[in-house]
Amino acid sequence: MHVLLSGRFEAREGEAWLRTLRAAAPWCTWWPEGAAGLPRDAIRAAVVANPAPGALGALPNLGLVQSLWAGVEKLLADVSLPAEVPLARMVDPAMSTAMAETALWAVLSLQRGFFDYAALQAATQWQPRPQRRADEVTVLVLGLGAMGRAVAMRLAAQGYRVSAWRASAASAAAPAAVASHAGSAVLETLLPVHEVVVNLLPLTPATRGLLGARFFAAMPRGGAIVNLARGAHLVDDDLLRALDDGHLRRAVLDVFTTEPLPAAHRYWRHPQVTLLPHVAALTDLRSASGVVAHNLQALRDGAPIAHLVDRARGY
Ligand code: NAP
Ligand code: GLV
């Protein structure tokens, strides 16, 4: 089976993927994008990491697009992606664990004031503050999918009072320690009673710009936002306004509308913003290659493909 590997990889990252994928699925003939002699007519599957728009066109035998990323909004926006070709996204427990670790770091640092102590150190100030308990902190996790579920469970296990919000009550059962809510109507009642909001929604027309002025105004004064999903969920000017006027205490941001975040952006120097360079949960090459191999085997054998994207829902 001929498989195309296409994407924007850091230096040497593409070679490492090719090496690992070849070892995980040795029955495939692997073709990096742009390789001499690439047999476009024979390519059966494409394994992709944010490929350039148009990269998936003119592949007449394509039977599967497997994303190495969990979020697929850019792929769905690529008109060269044939509508009839199944699209699978990356779902890997190692990635969910990494996301749970990042969320725990963010919420724990908010609870214990560790972000504030970092600023006090920079100002050479010795200033102990009152210590809060985890069970005094309410956290709302937006999204209860592969990432949100792992995050909600980890935070609940740490003693936080955790609720989660998702699209449909009919989705897979929520973890026992997490209060689960569904549907847009209930969100306005949840926001006033949760101090920290952790965003793990997919980027779709329904969720783009959701975290804006109205959302922040519904949160309690002194609340905090942790955005680990996509930059376009947030309305940046509205967030900056809510931070500047003191309504929100802090934002922890891993993802941005423009990445890398431009050097002139206010987030870089804002005293109430802690930022990461989109590293909340990187795809783990070792385990993700196994996920890819499993789906390629399923394609070869005519078995069900795992983690298919529902194109109508957008995730
Ligand atoms: P997922 O498994 O598809 O889960 C999506 C969750 O969001 C589901 O629980 C779904 O509800 C809920 N949802 C979707 N639309 C909704 C709406 N309109 N209202 C309320 N809930 C809605 O996604 P995932 O793999 O967990 O990924 C979550 C996010 O993390 C994505 O944005 C992804 O791009 C991002 N991500 C970021 C990083 C990083 O390093 N920063 C790494 C990986 C992923 P139902 O359960 O009812 O369907
Ligand atoms: C990272 O943001 C991903 O979607 O995998």
| Residue 90 alpha carbon, nearest atom of ligand 2 | 5
- 185 C-alpha to ligand 1 centroid (Å): 18
Nearest CA to ligand 2 atom 2: 71
Decide whether any atom of ligand 1 lies within 6 Å of the 253 Cβ. no
Please check whether residues 157 and 228 belong to one and the same domain.
yes
Establish if 313 belongs to a structural domain: no
Please check whether residues 269 and 128 belong to one and the same domain.
yes
The answer to whether residues 30 and 70 touch, using CB atoms and an 8 Å cutoff, is no
**pLDDT tens digit sequence for 52-82:** 999 999 999 999 999 999 999 999 999 989 8
Q: How many domains does the chain have?
A: 2
Rounded CA separation 72/202 (Å): 8
- 200 C-alpha to ligand 1 centroid (Å): 5
Rounded CA separation 223/285 (Å): 36
Task: Give residue 268's pLDDT.
Answer: 98
Establish if 256 belongs to a structural domain: yes
> SS3 of 18, please?
helix
Decide whether any atom of ligand 2 lies within 6 Å of the 69 Cβ. yes
**Ligand positioned closest to the Cα atom of 50:** 2
Please check whether residues 138 and 242 belong to one and the same domain.
yes
The answer to whether residues 60 and 46 touch, using CB atoms and an 8 Å cutoff, is no
Establish if 311 belongs to a structural domain: no
Please check whether residues 233 and 123 belong to one and the same domain.
yes
Give the position of tokens 């329904």: 206
Nearest CA to ligand 1 atom 45: 167
- Going residue by residue through the chain, which has 315 residues, state the pLDDT in tens, using 9 for 90 and above: 999 999 999 879 999 999 999 999 999 999 999 999 999 999 999 999 999 999 999 999 999 999 999 999 999 999 989 899 999 999 999 999 999 999 999 999 999 999 999 999 999 999 999 999 999 999 999 999 999 999 999 999 999 999 999 999 988 888 999 999 999 999 999 999 999 999 999 999 999 999 999 999 999 999 999 999 999 999 999 999 999 999 999 999 999 999 999 999 999 999 999 999 999 999 999 999 999 999 999 999 999 999 999 999 999
| Residue 255 alpha carbon, nearest atom of ligand 1 | 41
Give the distance from CA 172 to its chain's centroid. 19
Please check whether residues 185 and 235 belong to one and the same domain.
yes
Q: Which H or E run includes 105?
A: helix 93-112
Establish if 49 belongs to a structural domain: yes
| Cα–Cα distances in angstroms (integers) from residue 156 to residues 33, 138, 178, 268, in the given order | 43, 10, 7, 31
For position 112, which CATH number holds?
Answer: 3.40.50.720
> SS3 of 148, please?
helix
Rounded CA separation 56/123 (Å): 52
Please check whether residues 167 and 138 belong to one and the same domain.
yes
Please check whether residues 139 and 79 belong to one and the same domain.
no
Decide whether any atom of ligand 1 lies within 6 Å of the 145 Cβ. yes
- 263 C-alpha to ligand 2 centroid (Å): 22
Please check whether residues 87 and 97 belong to one and the same domain.
no
Ligand 2: which of 9, 10, 68, 69 to mutate, judged by most atoms within 8 Å of the beta carbon? 69
Establish if 306 belongs to a structural domain: no
Rounded CA separation 32/207 (Å): 34
Please check whether residues 111 and 215 belong to one and the same domain.
yes
Establish if 21 belongs to a structural domain: yes
**Ligand positioned closest to the Cα atom of 184:** 1
Catalytic residue ranges: 230, 278
Establish if 309 belongs to a structural domain: no
Establish if 314 belongs to a structural domain: no
Decide whether any atom of ligand 2 lies within 6 Å of the 202 Cβ. no
Q: Sign of the CA dihedral 213, 218, 222, 223?
A: negative
Please check whether residues 58 and 98 belong to one and the same domain.
no
pTM for the model: 0.98
Q: Which residue range forms the structural domain that includes residue 173?
A: 93-275
Please check whether residues 143 and 105 belong to one and the same domain.
yes
Please check whether residues 238 and 123 belong to one and the same domain.
yes
**pLDDT tens digit sequence for 253-284:** 999 999 999 999 999 999 999 999 999 999 99
